[in-house]
Amino acid sequence: MLHSFRRGLTVLAFALTLLAMLGGAAQAQSLDDLRASGAVGERFDGLLVARDSSAKSFVDQVNAQRRKIYGERATAQGVPADQVGRVYAQKIIGDVAPGTWLQKPDGSWIQK
């Protein structure tokens, strides 16, 4: 089951990358810009946080997409969606640029 879950996460990573390349290329660029400006940060659970109120609507849209994907993958793998989000957060955090704000489980912030 763990092997199947890991394989599923690889598929999830590919799907998110494909989404960014196809329909979400402009949104991905905006996300990178918002991360670089510090207006948004990544959470430990695979979701975004609006660090500036001007980014709230954008963050809500991205989080809705992420929750949908995490939920679908969780259902397919038979695991909780929050577990999928936390595993995927590791990939996101590994891929973001230095200087990106990261929120830890205790609510504190660090920069990568």
Average pLDDT, the chain: 85
Task: For residue 83, count other CB atoms closer than 10 A to its CB.
Answer: 17
User: 86 Cβ partners below 8 Å, 6+ apart?
Assistant: 44, 45, 46
Contact 59, 50 (CB under 8 A): yes
Average of pLDDT values for 75-88?
95
Question: pLDDT tens, 23-56?
Answer: 444 565 699 999 999 999 999 999 999 999 999 9
**105: pLDDT confidence band, cut at 50, 70 and 90?**
very high
Domain enclosing residue 12, as ranges = 2-111
Q: What does the pLDDT read at residue 42?
A: 98
Domain total in the chain = 1
- Cross-strand pairs, 40: 50
